[in-house]
A and B are shown apart, each in its own frame.
Chain A
Amino acid sequence: MGAARKWLVIAVPYLWLLVFFLVPFFIVFKISFSTTALSIPPYTPVFEFTEGVAGLVDKARQLTLDNYLWLTQDPLYLRSYLSSVWIAFVSTLLTLLIGYPLAYGMARASRSLRPLLVMLVILPFWTSFLIRVYAWIGILRREGLLNQLLTWLGVIDAPLTIINTNTAVYIGIVYSYLPFMVLPLYAALERMDESLIEAAQDLGCTRLQAFWKITFPLSLPGVVAGSMLVFIPAVGEFVIPDLLGGSETLMIGKTLWVEFFSNRDWPVASAVASILLLILVVPIVLFQHQQSRQSEDGR
Protein backbone atom coordinates (compact mmCIF):
# COMPACT_ATOMS: atom_id res chain seq x y z
CA MET A 1 0.00 0.00 0.00
CA GLY A 2 1.19 3.48 -0.74
CA ALA A 3 2.61 5.59 2.05
CA ALA A 4 -0.21 8.15 1.85
CA ARG A 5 -2.86 5.45 2.04
CA LYS A 6 -1.12 3.76 4.92
CA TRP A 7 -1.02 7.07 6.72
CA LEU A 8 -4.74 7.60 6.12
CA VAL A 9 -5.73 4.13 7.32
CA ILE A 10 -3.85 4.67 10.56
CA ALA A 11 -4.64 8.35 11.07
CA VAL A 12 -8.44 8.26 10.88
CA PRO A 13 -9.12 5.77 13.70
CA TYR A 14 -6.06 7.02 15.57
CA LEU A 15 -7.25 10.61 15.63
CA TRP A 16 -10.77 9.55 16.52
CA LEU A 17 -9.54 7.58 19.52
CA LEU A 18 -7.18 10.37 20.53
CA VAL A 19 -9.97 12.95 20.52
CA PHE A 20 -12.76 10.82 21.98
CA PHE A 21 -10.86 8.45 24.22
CA LEU A 22 -7.50 9.81 25.32
CA VAL A 23 -8.07 13.56 25.46
CA PRO A 24 -11.20 13.14 27.65
CA PHE A 25 -9.05 11.43 30.28
CA PHE A 26 -6.81 14.45 30.46
CA ILE A 27 -9.85 16.66 30.82
CA VAL A 28 -11.10 14.48 33.68
CA PHE A 29 -7.67 14.70 35.21
CA LYS A 30 -7.56 18.47 34.89
CA ILE A 31 -11.04 19.00 36.29
CA SER A 32 -10.15 16.83 39.25
CA PHE A 33 -7.87 19.70 40.29
CA SER A 34 -10.58 22.35 39.90
CA THR A 35 -12.91 23.85 42.48
CA THR A 36 -16.65 23.31 42.59
CA ALA A 37 -18.65 26.37 41.63
CA LEU A 38 -22.30 27.28 41.25
CA SER A 39 -22.09 28.01 37.56
CA ILE A 40 -22.24 26.32 34.22
CA PRO A 41 -20.02 24.35 33.98
CA PRO A 42 -20.04 23.87 37.74
CA TYR A 43 -16.33 24.25 38.37
CA THR A 44 -13.54 26.83 38.15
CA PRO A 45 -11.15 27.68 36.70
CA VAL A 46 -12.41 27.24 33.17
CA PHE A 47 -9.55 27.54 30.74
CA GLU A 48 -10.22 29.82 27.79
CA PHE A 49 -7.61 29.65 25.10
CA THR A 50 -8.39 33.23 24.14
CA GLU A 51 -6.83 34.47 27.33
CA GLY A 52 -3.25 33.97 26.25
CA VAL A 53 -0.39 32.37 28.09
CA ALA A 54 -0.46 34.79 31.03
CA GLY A 55 -4.15 34.09 31.65
CA LEU A 56 -3.60 30.36 31.47
CA VAL A 57 -0.72 30.50 33.93
CA ASP A 58 -2.79 32.60 36.26
CA LYS A 59 -5.64 30.12 36.11
CA ALA A 60 -3.27 27.21 36.53
CA ARG A 61 -2.40 28.66 39.94
CA GLN A 62 -6.03 28.20 40.94
CA LEU A 63 -5.79 24.44 40.48
CA THR A 64 -5.91 22.61 43.76
CA LEU A 65 -5.39 19.24 45.33
CA ASP A 66 -8.41 19.80 47.58
CA ASN A 67 -10.54 17.18 45.87
CA TYR A 68 -7.97 14.49 46.45
CA LEU A 69 -7.57 15.61 50.06
CA TRP A 70 -11.33 15.38 50.38
CA LEU A 71 -11.21 11.78 49.11
CA THR A 72 -8.80 10.86 51.88
CA GLN A 73 -10.74 12.71 54.58
CA ASP A 74 -14.17 11.23 54.00
CA PRO A 75 -13.86 7.47 54.74
CA LEU A 76 -16.72 6.85 52.31
CA TYR A 77 -14.39 7.02 49.34
CA LEU A 78 -11.66 4.79 50.67
CA ARG A 79 -14.27 2.26 51.74
CA SER A 80 -15.92 2.44 48.31
CA TYR A 81 -12.64 1.70 46.55
CA LEU A 82 -11.73 -1.16 48.85
CA SER A 83 -15.19 -2.62 48.75
CA SER A 84 -15.35 -2.34 44.93
CA VAL A 85 -12.08 -4.15 44.49
CA TRP A 86 -13.14 -6.78 47.03
CA ILE A 87 -16.55 -7.34 45.46
CA ALA A 88 -14.99 -7.51 42.00
CA PHE A 89 -12.37 -9.94 43.25
CA VAL A 90 -14.86 -12.27 44.95
CA SER A 91 -17.19 -12.11 41.95
CA THR A 92 -14.33 -12.91 39.58
CA LEU A 93 -13.41 -15.93 41.70
CA LEU A 94 -17.03 -17.10 41.76
CA THR A 95 -17.35 -16.58 38.02
CA LEU A 96 -14.22 -18.65 37.49
CA LEU A 97 -15.56 -21.42 39.74
CA ILE A 98 -18.81 -21.60 37.79
CA GLY A 99 -17.35 -20.80 34.40
CA TYR A 100 -14.48 -23.28 34.39
CA PRO A 101 -16.55 -26.47 34.69
CA LEU A 102 -18.95 -25.06 32.11
CA ALA A 103 -16.17 -24.24 29.65
CA TYR A 104 -14.52 -27.58 30.33
CA GLY A 105 -17.76 -29.43 29.72
CA MET A 106 -18.27 -27.47 26.48
CA ALA A 107 -14.76 -28.23 25.28
CA ARG A 108 -15.29 -31.93 25.86
CA ALA A 109 -18.66 -32.02 24.14
CA SER A 110 -18.90 -33.71 20.76
CA ARG A 111 -17.59 -31.69 17.85
CA SER A 112 -21.05 -31.26 16.35
CA LEU A 113 -22.56 -29.97 19.59
CA ARG A 114 -19.86 -27.40 20.35
CA PRO A 115 -20.90 -24.60 17.97
CA LEU A 116 -24.42 -24.71 19.43
CA LEU A 117 -23.07 -24.49 22.98
CA VAL A 118 -20.82 -21.57 22.08
CA MET A 119 -23.79 -19.87 20.48
CA LEU A 120 -25.81 -20.43 23.66
CA VAL A 121 -23.09 -18.76 25.74
CA ILE A 122 -22.84 -15.81 23.37
CA LEU A 123 -26.59 -15.25 23.04
CA PRO A 124 -27.16 -13.74 26.53
CA PHE A 125 -24.21 -11.49 25.86
CA TRP A 126 -26.11 -10.00 22.94
CA THR A 127 -29.23 -9.37 24.99
CA SER A 128 -29.35 -6.27 27.09
CA PHE A 129 -27.26 -6.11 30.21
CA LEU A 130 -29.89 -3.98 31.90
CA ILE A 131 -32.61 -6.51 31.11
CA ARG A 132 -30.58 -9.37 32.50
CA VAL A 133 -29.98 -7.51 35.75
CA TYR A 134 -33.63 -6.52 35.86
CA ALA A 135 -34.64 -10.17 35.50
CA TRP A 136 -32.93 -10.94 38.78
CA ILE A 137 -34.95 -8.37 40.69
CA GLY A 138 -38.06 -10.42 40.10
CA ILE A 139 -36.30 -13.54 41.30
CA LEU A 140 -34.49 -12.22 44.34
CA ARG A 141 -37.18 -9.96 45.85
CA ARG A 142 -38.64 -10.79 49.26
CA GLU A 143 -41.84 -11.96 47.58
CA GLY A 144 -39.83 -13.07 44.54
CA LEU A 145 -39.67 -16.41 42.78
CA LEU A 146 -36.67 -17.78 44.68
CA ASN A 147 -38.31 -17.19 48.05
CA GLN A 148 -41.58 -18.63 46.76
CA LEU A 149 -39.76 -21.73 45.59
CA LEU A 150 -37.80 -22.19 48.81
CA THR A 151 -40.89 -21.68 50.97
CA TRP A 152 -42.85 -24.13 48.84
CA LEU A 153 -40.05 -26.68 49.18
CA GLY A 154 -40.13 -26.12 52.93
CA VAL A 155 -36.47 -25.12 53.08
CA ILE A 156 -37.27 -21.81 54.76
CA ASP A 157 -40.13 -20.48 56.88
CA ALA A 158 -39.66 -16.76 56.46
CA PRO A 159 -38.53 -15.21 53.17
CA LEU A 160 -34.82 -14.52 52.87
CA THR A 161 -33.60 -11.00 52.27
CA ILE A 162 -31.35 -11.29 49.25
CA ILE A 163 -32.18 -8.28 47.16
CA ASN A 164 -30.43 -5.08 48.26
CA THR A 165 -27.54 -7.02 49.80
CA ASN A 166 -24.04 -7.74 48.62
CA THR A 167 -25.10 -11.31 47.89
CA ALA A 168 -27.45 -10.03 45.22
CA VAL A 169 -24.58 -7.98 43.78
CA TYR A 170 -22.37 -11.07 43.60
CA ILE A 171 -25.12 -13.01 41.86
CA GLY A 172 -25.68 -10.13 39.45
CA ILE A 173 -22.02 -9.78 38.54
CA VAL A 174 -21.42 -13.50 38.18
CA TYR A 175 -24.50 -13.82 36.02
CA SER A 176 -23.81 -10.84 33.79
CA TYR A 177 -20.14 -11.51 33.26
CA LEU A 178 -20.21 -15.31 32.96
CA PRO A 179 -19.96 -15.32 29.13
CA PHE A 180 -16.82 -13.14 29.33
CA MET A 181 -15.21 -15.77 31.52
CA VAL A 182 -16.45 -18.84 29.64
CA LEU A 183 -15.44 -17.81 26.12
CA PRO A 184 -11.67 -17.31 26.67
CA LEU A 185 -11.59 -20.41 28.89
CA TYR A 186 -13.35 -22.43 26.24
CA ALA A 187 -11.01 -21.11 23.56
CA ALA A 188 -8.00 -22.22 25.62
CA LEU A 189 -9.47 -25.62 26.54
CA GLU A 190 -10.85 -26.43 23.11
CA ARG A 191 -7.44 -26.02 21.51
CA MET A 192 -5.93 -28.49 23.90
CA ASP A 193 -4.87 -31.84 22.55
CA GLU A 194 -6.64 -34.72 24.28
CA SER A 195 -3.60 -36.92 23.68
CA LEU A 196 -1.71 -34.78 26.25
CA ILE A 197 -4.08 -36.05 28.94
CA GLU A 198 -3.79 -39.57 27.62
CA ALA A 199 -0.01 -39.27 27.65
CA ALA A 200 -0.10 -38.06 31.27
CA GLN A 201 -2.34 -40.96 32.23
CA ASP A 202 -0.13 -43.35 30.33
CA LEU A 203 2.79 -42.06 32.39
CA GLY A 204 0.98 -42.81 35.61
CA CYS A 205 -1.25 -39.82 36.45
CA THR A 206 -4.80 -40.29 37.63
CA ARG A 207 -7.43 -38.33 35.71
CA LEU A 208 -7.55 -35.71 38.43
CA GLN A 209 -3.77 -35.39 38.61
CA ALA A 210 -3.65 -35.12 34.84
CA PHE A 211 -6.16 -32.28 35.03
CA TRP A 212 -4.16 -30.34 37.62
CA LYS A 213 -0.77 -30.97 36.10
CA ILE A 214 -1.62 -30.65 32.41
CA THR A 215 -5.03 -29.22 31.58
CA PHE A 216 -5.20 -26.46 34.15
CA PRO A 217 -1.68 -25.00 33.62
CA LEU A 218 -2.24 -25.00 29.87
CA SER A 219 -5.54 -23.18 30.25
CA LEU A 220 -3.99 -20.41 32.36
CA PRO A 221 -3.92 -17.84 29.52
CA GLY A 222 -7.68 -18.33 29.25
CA VAL A 223 -8.06 -18.01 33.02
CA VAL A 224 -6.11 -14.75 33.04
CA ALA A 225 -7.95 -13.29 30.06
CA GLY A 226 -11.36 -14.28 31.43
CA SER A 227 -10.58 -12.95 34.91
CA MET A 228 -9.43 -9.62 33.51
CA LEU A 229 -12.54 -9.34 31.38
CA VAL A 230 -14.64 -9.81 34.53
CA PHE A 231 -12.58 -8.03 37.16
CA ILE A 232 -11.80 -4.75 35.41
CA PRO A 233 -15.32 -3.73 34.42
CA ALA A 234 -16.75 -5.17 37.64
CA VAL A 235 -14.67 -2.77 39.75
CA GLY A 236 -16.36 0.18 38.09
CA GLU A 237 -19.78 -1.46 37.81
CA PHE A 238 -22.74 0.83 38.36
CA VAL A 239 -25.97 -0.82 37.17
CA ILE A 240 -25.68 -3.98 39.26
CA PRO A 241 -24.94 -2.39 42.67
CA ASP A 242 -27.52 0.27 41.96
CA LEU A 243 -30.35 -2.11 41.09
CA LEU A 244 -29.50 -5.19 43.14
CA GLY A 245 -27.35 -3.77 45.94
CA GLY A 246 -28.55 -2.07 49.08
CA SER A 247 -27.58 1.01 50.98
CA GLU A 248 -24.65 -0.84 52.55
CA THR A 249 -23.31 -1.83 49.15
CA LEU A 250 -20.46 0.52 48.49
CA MET A 251 -19.12 0.49 44.97
CA ILE A 252 -17.10 3.21 43.42
CA GLY A 253 -19.10 3.33 40.19
CA LYS A 254 -22.18 4.13 42.22
CA THR A 255 -20.34 6.68 44.35
CA LEU A 256 -19.12 8.43 41.20
CA TRP A 257 -22.61 8.44 39.73
CA VAL A 258 -24.07 9.96 42.89
CA GLU A 259 -21.29 12.57 43.11
CA PHE A 260 -21.94 13.55 39.54
CA PHE A 261 -25.69 13.37 39.08
CA SER A 262 -26.99 13.96 42.62
CA ASN A 263 -24.35 16.18 44.22
CA ARG A 264 -23.33 17.80 40.94
CA ASP A 265 -19.79 17.85 42.28
CA TRP A 266 -17.92 17.41 39.02
CA PRO A 267 -14.41 17.98 40.36
CA VAL A 268 -14.82 15.34 43.07
CA ALA A 269 -16.40 12.94 40.56
CA SER A 270 -13.39 13.54 38.32
CA ALA A 271 -11.00 12.88 41.18
CA VAL A 272 -12.87 9.65 41.95
CA ALA A 273 -12.59 8.62 38.29
CA SER A 274 -8.88 9.50 38.15
CA ILE A 275 -8.09 7.33 41.17
CA LEU A 276 -10.22 4.49 39.81
CA LEU A 277 -8.33 4.65 36.55
CA LEU A 278 -5.05 4.59 38.45
CA ILE A 279 -6.17 1.43 40.27
CA LEU A 280 -7.14 -0.20 36.99
CA VAL A 281 -4.08 0.81 34.98
CA VAL A 282 -2.08 -2.26 35.99
CA PRO A 283 -4.74 -4.85 35.12
CA ILE A 284 -5.66 -2.98 31.93
CA VAL A 285 -2.07 -2.87 30.74
CA LEU A 286 -1.70 -6.56 31.60
CA PHE A 287 -4.84 -7.38 29.66
CA GLN A 288 -3.85 -5.26 26.69
CA HIS A 289 -0.40 -6.83 26.64
CA GLN A 290 -1.86 -10.30 26.61
CA GLN A 291 -4.38 -9.41 23.91
CA SER A 292 -1.84 -7.94 21.55
CA ARG A 293 0.53 -10.83 22.17
CA GLN A 294 -2.21 -13.27 21.35
CA SER A 295 -3.25 -11.45 18.23
CA GLU A 296 0.37 -11.47 17.08
CA ASP A 297 0.76 -15.16 17.87
CA GLY A 298 -2.20 -15.84 15.66
CA ARG A 299 -0.39 -14.54 12.61
Chain B
Amino acid sequence: MNGRWSGFNIVSVVVGFTFLYLPIVLLVIYSFNASRLVTVWGGFSTQWYGEMLRNEALLAAASVTFRVALVSATAATVLGTLAAVALTRFMRFRGRLLFSGMVFAPLVMPEVITGLSLLLLFIAIDLDRTIVTVMLAHTTFSMCFVAVVVQSRLVTFDRSLEEAAQDLGCPPLKAFLTVTLPVIAPAVIAGWMLAFTLSLDDLVIASFTSGSGATTLPMRIYSQVRLGVTPEINAVCTVLIALVTTGVVAASILNKRSMVRRERAERMAFDER
Protein backbone atom coordinates (compact mmCIF):
# COMPACT_ATOMS: atom_id res chain seq x y z
CA MET B 1 0.00 0.00 0.00
CA ASN B 2 1.31 3.42 -0.82
CA GLY B 3 -0.93 6.42 -0.71
CA ARG B 4 -0.93 9.92 0.63
CA TRP B 5 -0.17 10.23 4.29
CA SER B 6 -3.20 12.00 5.68
CA GLY B 7 -3.30 14.10 8.84
CA PHE B 8 -5.20 11.33 10.55
CA ASN B 9 -2.47 8.84 9.65
CA ILE B 10 0.22 11.07 11.07
CA VAL B 11 -1.69 11.70 14.29
CA SER B 12 -2.37 8.01 14.86
CA VAL B 13 1.27 7.11 14.28
CA VAL B 14 2.54 9.87 16.58
CA VAL B 15 0.02 9.08 19.34
CA GLY B 16 0.71 5.35 19.02
CA PHE B 17 4.45 5.75 19.34
CA THR B 18 4.15 8.25 22.17
CA PHE B 19 2.06 5.71 24.05
CA LEU B 20 4.64 3.00 23.35
CA TYR B 21 7.71 5.00 24.29
CA LEU B 22 6.73 7.58 26.90
CA PRO B 23 6.64 5.14 29.87
CA ILE B 24 10.06 3.78 28.98
CA VAL B 25 11.53 7.24 28.53
CA LEU B 26 10.15 8.36 31.90
CA LEU B 27 11.56 5.27 33.55
CA VAL B 28 14.99 5.99 32.14
CA ILE B 29 14.83 9.65 33.15
CA TYR B 30 13.87 8.82 36.71
CA SER B 31 16.76 6.41 37.04
CA PHE B 32 18.96 9.52 37.10
CA ASN B 33 16.91 11.14 39.83
CA ALA B 34 18.86 12.23 42.89
CA SER B 35 15.85 11.92 45.11
CA ARG B 36 14.86 8.64 46.69
CA LEU B 37 11.24 9.61 46.04
CA VAL B 38 10.67 8.34 42.57
CA THR B 39 8.07 10.89 41.66
CA VAL B 40 9.85 14.01 42.78
CA TRP B 41 12.70 15.24 40.62
CA GLY B 42 15.64 15.98 42.87
CA GLY B 43 18.28 16.75 40.29
CA PHE B 44 20.54 14.61 38.12
CA SER B 45 22.55 11.86 39.74
CA THR B 46 24.05 8.51 38.89
CA GLN B 47 24.16 7.34 42.50
CA TRP B 48 21.58 4.59 41.89
CA TYR B 49 23.81 3.01 39.31
CA GLY B 50 26.56 2.84 41.90
CA GLU B 51 24.17 1.36 44.38
CA MET B 52 23.05 -1.19 41.85
CA LEU B 53 26.64 -2.30 41.29
CA ARG B 54 27.12 -2.81 45.03
CA ASN B 55 23.98 -4.92 45.33
CA GLU B 56 25.43 -8.42 45.33
CA ALA B 57 22.13 -10.25 45.26
CA LEU B 58 21.25 -8.31 42.13
CA LEU B 59 24.56 -9.06 40.46
CA ALA B 60 24.25 -12.74 41.32
CA ALA B 61 20.80 -12.80 39.79
CA ALA B 62 22.13 -11.06 36.68
CA SER B 63 24.85 -13.68 36.32
CA VAL B 64 22.30 -16.49 36.61
CA THR B 65 20.09 -14.82 34.04
CA PHE B 66 22.87 -14.38 31.51
CA ARG B 67 24.01 -17.96 31.89
CA VAL B 68 20.48 -19.23 31.44
CA ALA B 69 19.87 -16.96 28.45
CA LEU B 70 23.13 -17.96 26.75
CA VAL B 71 22.59 -21.71 27.09
CA SER B 72 18.87 -21.76 26.41
CA ALA B 73 19.08 -19.42 23.41
CA THR B 74 21.77 -21.57 21.84
CA ALA B 75 19.92 -24.83 22.46
CA ALA B 76 16.64 -23.26 21.31
CA THR B 77 18.29 -22.07 18.09
CA VAL B 78 19.47 -25.58 17.23
CA LEU B 79 16.15 -27.22 18.09
CA GLY B 80 14.05 -24.44 16.58
CA THR B 81 15.98 -24.49 13.32
CA LEU B 82 15.55 -28.25 13.08
CA ALA B 83 11.82 -27.85 13.75
CA ALA B 84 11.59 -25.15 11.07
CA VAL B 85 13.35 -27.41 8.56
CA ALA B 86 11.03 -30.28 9.46
CA LEU B 87 7.97 -28.09 8.99
CA THR B 88 9.00 -26.55 5.68
CA ARG B 89 10.70 -29.49 4.02
CA PHE B 90 8.54 -32.41 4.98
CA MET B 91 4.95 -31.74 4.15
CA ARG B 92 3.86 -35.24 4.98
CA PHE B 93 4.87 -37.30 7.99
CA ARG B 94 3.10 -39.12 10.73
CA GLY B 95 1.98 -36.68 13.40
CA ARG B 96 2.77 -33.52 11.44
CA LEU B 97 -0.40 -31.86 12.68
CA LEU B 98 0.49 -32.54 16.31
CA PHE B 99 4.01 -31.35 15.65
CA SER B 100 3.01 -28.02 14.12
CA GLY B 101 0.49 -27.64 16.94
CA MET B 102 3.26 -28.08 19.50
CA VAL B 103 5.40 -25.53 17.66
CA PHE B 104 2.74 -22.84 17.43
CA ALA B 105 0.87 -23.33 20.73
CA PRO B 106 3.67 -22.17 23.07
CA LEU B 107 3.67 -18.79 21.29
CA VAL B 108 0.34 -17.95 22.87
CA MET B 109 0.21 -20.36 25.80
CA PRO B 110 -0.27 -18.47 29.10
CA GLU B 111 3.02 -18.62 30.94
CA VAL B 112 1.41 -19.79 34.15
CA ILE B 113 0.31 -22.97 32.41
CA THR B 114 3.68 -23.63 30.79
CA GLY B 115 5.46 -22.91 34.06
CA LEU B 116 3.22 -25.06 36.20
CA SER B 117 3.26 -27.98 33.80
CA LEU B 118 7.04 -27.95 33.47
CA LEU B 119 7.48 -27.81 37.20
CA LEU B 120 5.19 -30.77 37.69
CA LEU B 121 7.16 -32.64 35.03
CA PHE B 122 10.46 -31.99 36.77
CA ILE B 123 8.99 -33.22 40.02
CA ALA B 124 7.50 -36.28 38.37
CA ILE B 125 10.87 -37.28 36.91
CA ASP B 126 12.57 -36.34 40.17
CA LEU B 127 14.77 -33.62 38.72
CA ASP B 128 15.99 -31.13 41.33
CA ARG B 129 15.09 -27.57 40.54
CA THR B 130 18.28 -25.73 39.70
CA ILE B 131 19.58 -23.46 37.02
CA VAL B 132 19.42 -26.47 34.69
CA THR B 133 15.66 -26.80 34.95
CA VAL B 134 15.26 -23.10 34.12
CA MET B 135 17.45 -23.64 31.06
CA LEU B 136 15.35 -26.62 29.96
CA ALA B 137 12.15 -24.63 30.41
CA HIS B 138 13.44 -21.60 28.51
CA THR B 139 14.80 -23.75 25.71
CA THR B 140 11.37 -25.31 25.29
CA PHE B 141 9.33 -22.17 24.86
CA SER B 142 11.90 -20.10 23.00
CA MET B 143 12.67 -22.85 20.47
CA CYS B 144 9.15 -22.31 19.16
CA PHE B 145 9.84 -18.62 18.54
CA VAL B 146 13.07 -19.53 16.77
CA ALA B 147 11.17 -22.10 14.69
CA VAL B 148 8.66 -19.48 13.55
CA VAL B 149 11.33 -16.94 12.65
CA VAL B 150 13.48 -19.44 10.75
CA GLN B 151 10.48 -21.04 9.08
CA SER B 152 9.32 -17.75 7.63
CA ARG B 153 12.77 -17.36 6.06
CA LEU B 154 12.89 -20.95 4.83
CA VAL B 155 9.59 -20.73 2.97
CA THR B 156 11.04 -18.01 0.76
CA PHE B 157 14.36 -19.82 0.37
CA ASP B 158 14.91 -20.95 -3.20
CA ARG B 159 15.17 -24.72 -2.96
CA SER B 160 17.02 -24.86 -6.25
CA LEU B 161 20.10 -23.41 -4.50
CA GLU B 162 20.38 -26.58 -2.48
CA GLU B 163 19.57 -28.71 -5.51
CA ALA B 164 22.25 -26.91 -7.48
CA ALA B 165 24.80 -27.75 -4.79
CA GLN B 166 23.77 -31.41 -4.96
CA ASP B 167 23.83 -31.33 -8.72
CA LEU B 168 27.42 -30.10 -8.52
CA GLY B 169 28.40 -33.11 -6.43
CA CYS B 170 27.66 -32.01 -2.88
CA PRO B 171 25.99 -34.59 -0.62
CA PRO B 172 22.66 -33.41 0.89
CA LEU B 173 23.83 -32.68 4.44
CA LYS B 174 26.89 -30.80 3.23
CA ALA B 175 24.70 -28.88 0.77
CA PHE B 176 22.52 -27.77 3.66
CA LEU B 177 25.50 -26.71 5.73
CA THR B 178 27.47 -24.94 3.00
CA VAL B 179 24.64 -23.33 1.05
CA THR B 180 21.34 -23.20 2.94
CA LEU B 181 22.63 -22.34 6.38
CA PRO B 182 24.80 -19.37 5.32
CA VAL B 183 21.91 -17.95 3.30
CA ILE B 184 19.36 -18.21 6.11
CA ALA B 185 21.93 -17.19 8.76
CA PRO B 186 20.39 -13.75 9.39
CA ALA B 187 17.10 -15.40 10.36
CA VAL B 188 18.87 -17.93 12.56
CA ILE B 189 20.79 -15.14 14.29
CA ALA B 190 17.60 -13.14 14.74
CA GLY B 191 16.02 -16.26 16.22
CA TRP B 192 18.91 -16.60 18.65
CA MET B 193 18.61 -12.96 19.70
CA LEU B 194 14.88 -13.35 20.19
CA ALA B 195 15.39 -16.48 22.29
CA PHE B 196 18.06 -14.69 24.32
CA THR B 197 15.86 -11.72 25.15
CA LEU B 198 12.85 -13.91 25.85
CA SER B 199 14.92 -15.79 28.39
CA LEU B 200 16.32 -12.54 29.79
CA ASP B 201 12.77 -11.36 30.22
CA ASP B 202 10.92 -14.25 31.68
CA LEU B 203 9.55 -14.06 35.18
CA VAL B 204 6.69 -16.51 35.38
CA ILE B 205 8.22 -19.65 33.94
CA ALA B 206 11.48 -19.06 35.80
CA SER B 207 9.57 -18.61 39.07
CA PHE B 208 7.98 -22.01 38.64
CA THR B 209 11.01 -23.91 37.45
CA SER B 210 13.91 -22.47 39.40
CA GLY B 211 14.97 -23.61 42.81
CA SER B 212 16.89 -21.94 45.58
CA GLY B 213 20.17 -20.47 44.47
CA ALA B 214 18.93 -19.95 40.92
CA THR B 215 17.13 -16.65 41.30
CA THR B 216 17.03 -14.84 37.97
CA LEU B 217 17.14 -11.09 37.46
CA PRO B 218 13.43 -10.72 36.64
CA MET B 219 12.61 -12.70 39.79
CA ARG B 220 14.80 -10.38 41.83
CA ILE B 221 13.33 -7.28 40.19
CA TYR B 222 9.82 -8.62 40.74
CA SER B 223 10.30 -9.23 44.43
CA GLN B 224 11.64 -5.69 44.85
CA VAL B 225 8.97 -4.11 42.65
CA ARG B 226 6.25 -5.65 44.77
CA LEU B 227 7.63 -3.59 47.65
CA GLY B 228 7.41 -0.41 45.62
CA VAL B 229 9.15 1.66 43.00
CA THR B 230 12.77 2.46 43.72
CA PRO B 231 15.28 4.43 41.65
CA GLU B 232 17.67 1.54 41.97
CA ILE B 233 15.28 -0.71 40.05
CA ASN B 234 14.89 2.06 37.51
CA ALA B 235 18.65 1.98 37.07
CA VAL B 236 18.69 -1.80 36.60
CA CYS B 237 15.88 -1.54 34.09
CA THR B 238 17.66 1.23 32.22
CA VAL B 239 20.79 -0.88 31.91
CA LEU B 240 18.77 -3.80 30.58
CA ILE B 241 16.91 -1.58 28.13
CA ALA B 242 20.17 -0.05 26.94
CA LEU B 243 21.73 -3.47 26.45
CA VAL B 244 18.85 -4.89 24.47
CA THR B 245 18.28 -1.73 22.45
CA THR B 246 21.94 -1.52 21.51
CA GLY B 247 21.92 -5.13 20.43
CA VAL B 248 18.78 -4.85 18.35
CA VAL B 249 19.67 -1.52 16.78
CA ALA B 250 23.20 -2.66 15.97
CA ALA B 251 21.90 -5.83 14.38
CA SER B 252 19.38 -3.97 12.28
CA ILE B 253 21.88 -1.31 11.21
CA LEU B 254 24.32 -4.02 10.12
CA ASN B 255 21.51 -5.68 8.26
CA LYS B 256 20.40 -2.43 6.68
CA ARG B 257 23.92 -1.47 5.69
CA SER B 258 24.44 -4.75 3.89
CA MET B 259 21.11 -4.23 2.17
CA VAL B 260 22.05 -0.75 1.03
CA ARG B 261 25.40 -1.99 -0.22
CA ARG B 262 23.62 -4.73 -2.06
CA GLU B 263 21.14 -2.38 -3.67
CA ARG B 264 23.88 -0.06 -4.79
CA ALA B 265 25.78 -2.99 -6.31
CA GLU B 266 22.68 -4.13 -8.11
CA ARG B 267 22.14 -0.72 -9.60
CA MET B 268 25.79 -0.66 -10.70
CA ALA B 269 25.44 -4.03 -12.39
CA PHE B 270 22.36 -2.83 -14.17
CA ASP B 271 24.09 0.27 -15.51
CA GLU B 272 27.04 -1.69 -16.80
CA ARG B 273 24.96 -3.92 -18.97
Nearest residue, chain B, Cβ from A261? B207
Interface residues of B (CB under 8 A from A): 1-6, 8-13, 15-17, 19-21, 23-24, 26-27, 30, 38-39, 79-80, 82-83, 85-90, 93, 95, 98-114, 116-118, 120-121, 123-124, 136-137, 139-140, 143, 147-148, 151-152, 155-156, 172-173, 194, 197, 200-201, 203-204, 207-208, 218, 221-222, 225-226, 229, 233-234, 237, 240-241, 244-245, 248-249, 252, 256
A292/B108 contact (C-beta < 8 A), A108-B2, A128-B201 known: no
A150 to chain B, nearest CB (A): 13
7 A-B pairs whose Cβ atoms sit less than 8 Å apart in the complex: A13-B79, A27-B120, A102-B17, A110-B2, A128-B241, A132-B23, A135-B24
Q: A191 contacts the other chain (Cβ, under 8 Å)?
A: yes
Q: Does A224 contact B (CB under 8 A)?
A: no
User: A123-B248, A179-B20 are known contacts; what are 20 more A-B pairs with Cβ within 8 Å?
Assistant: A14-B99, A14-B102, A16-B143, A17-B103, A20-B136, A108-B1, A108-B3, A120-B21, A127-B24, A135-B26, A138-B27, A175-B20, A194-B1, A228-B108, A232-B108, A239-B204, A266-B120, A273-B116, A280-B108, A295-B152
- Separation in Å of the A28 CB from the closest CB of chain B? 5
Q: Are A178 and B12 in contact (CB under 8 A)?
A: no
Chain B proximity mask over A114-126: 1 for CB below 8 Å, otherwise 0 = 0101011111101
Q: Are B120 and A191 in contact (CB under 8 A)?
A: no
Closest Cβ neighbor of A119 among chain B residues:
B252
- A138-188 with Cβ < 8 A to chain B: 138-139, 141, 143-145, 148, 175, 178-179, 182
Complex-state Cα separation, A253 to B123, whole angstroms: 21
Q: Which residues of B contact A243 (CB under 8 A)?
A: 225-226
CB pair A291–B248 under 8 Å, yes or no, is no
Complex CA distance for A277 and B109, rounded to whole angstroms = 9
* Chain A window 264-298, contacts with chain B (Cβ cutoff 8 Å), 1 for yes, 0 for no: 00100110010011001001110110011001001
Q: Which of A4-12, A57-65, A70-78 contacts B (4 or more CB under 8 A)?
A: A4-12
Known A24-B118, A175-B23, A288-B104; judge A130-B143 contact (CB<8 A).
Answer: no
Whole-angstrom CA separation of A284 from B13 in the bound complex: 30
The dominant DSSP class at the A interface is helix
Minimal Cβ-Cβ distance residue in B for A274: B113
The B-contacting residues of A in range 81-114, CB under 8 angstroms, are 98-99, 101-102, 104-111
Give the complex CA separation of A24 and B28 in angstroms: 40
Tell me which of B87, B102, B140, B201 contacts A130 (CB under 8 A).
Answer: B201
Contact B116 A192 (CB under 8 A): no
Q: Does A129 contact B (CB under 8 A)?
A: yes
User: In the complex, what residues of B have CB within 8 A of residue A128's CB?
Assistant: 200-201, 218, 237, 240-241, 244
Minimum CB distance partner of A25 in chain B: B117
The reply to whether A111 and B2 form a contact with Cβ atoms under 8 Å apart is yes
Q: What residue of chain A has the Cβ atom nearest to residue B96's Cβ?
A: A10
Knowing A270-B120, A273-B113, A299-B155, the reply to whether A9 touches B237 (Cβ < 8 A) is: no
- B110 lies within 8 A of A237 (CB): yes
Asked if A136 lies at the interface with its beta carbon under 8 angstroms from chain B, I say yes
- Tell me the smallest distance from the CB of B171 to a CB of chain A, in Å: 9
CB distance from A246 to the nearest CB of B (A): 14
Given contacts A27-B121, A105-B9, contact A233 B110 (CB under 8 A): yes
Quick check: A9 and B86 within 8 Å, CB to CB? yes
